[in-house]
Amino acid sequence: MKVTVLGKSPSWQDAGGACSGYLIEEGDTAVLMDCGNGVFSKLRRYRDYVDVDAVVLSHLHADHFLDLVPYSYALTYAPRQQPVPVHIWPGTDNPARPELHAPRGARETFRRVVGAWGNDDLIENAFHLREYDPDAIVEVGPLRFAFAEVPHFIHTCAIEVTSSADGAGRLVYGADSAPATELIEFARGADLLMIEATLPRPERGGMRGHLTPAEAGEHGARAGARRLVLTHISDELGDDWARSEAEQTFGGPVDLAHEGAVYEL
């Protein structure tokens, strides 16, 4: 399984960056996990968007799904998706229509977003939209996605990705989460734990919804993750500071996600 980081910014992009998006490939199968703002243009550097089999979303915050809007426009209006020849494109009777596995309530959320300018069914027409049950498994070719609800400001699922290919490891993506034993249990023994480390310090008031780098390291240690990668972290926070905070609690080397980073497992 090959994981390419397309976007690791928090809810505002780094300079030249993108919000959450990870391309997962196994053989000919490709899945985009989260599709935050900026991710569609990053995806185009690494994979033809008509050759993505499915998109899987962790939750319905803008920084995890907003680029479904340009992606849907591409699937709807791109010349090669049309039934007649245009320019170098021969025309097709079978335009690409990837699966879209999204949390409950997604259809209504998407309609409200694109309905703001009267395009209510844009996303559901461009993709095969399915709202997943967190207790169910989503299978796409050899890839298998399992979910665990984690505490965040809205319904959110951490995602486990495994593969039926020989020797493939186990990826756990923590999505956005407050400190949570659920996340530690779900990530137990992961070969690679991609975990958000958005906050410089814990939230000062209200409910918790994110992790600091030190908390992310502690979660990785308690889960016994073999490899820990911090993500969803701003370029304004300082890589060296974040890494050293996380390494102290993890008790070993920690990576910081950056766009274009590739992990094989």
Binding site for Zn ion (CB under 5 A): 61, 63, 176
Backbone angles phi, psi at 73, to 5 degrees: -65, -40
Nearer to Zn ion, 86 or 154 (CB): 154
**Which region holds residue 180: left if phi is over 0, alpha if psi is between -120 and 50, else beta?**
beta
Distance (Å, whole) CA 231 – CA 216: 10
Nearer to Zn ion, 63 or 259 (CB): 63
Distance (Å, whole) CA 174 – CA 120: 30
* 8 A C-beta contact, residue 165 and residue 149: no
Nearer to Zn ion, 163 or 231 (CB): 231
Rounded to the nearest whole angstrom, what is the least distance from the CB of residue 120 to Zn ion in the complex? 24
Rounded to the nearest whole angstrom, what is the least distance from the CB of residue 252 to Zn ion in the complex? 26
Rounded to the nearest whole angstrom, what is the least distance from the CB of residue 100 to Zn ion in the complex? 18
Q: At what angle do helices 213-223 and 239-250 cross, to 10 degrees?
A: 30
Nearer to Zn ion, 136 or 154 (CB): 154
Rounded to the nearest whole angstrom, what is the least distance from the CB of residue 256 to Zn ion in the complex? 16
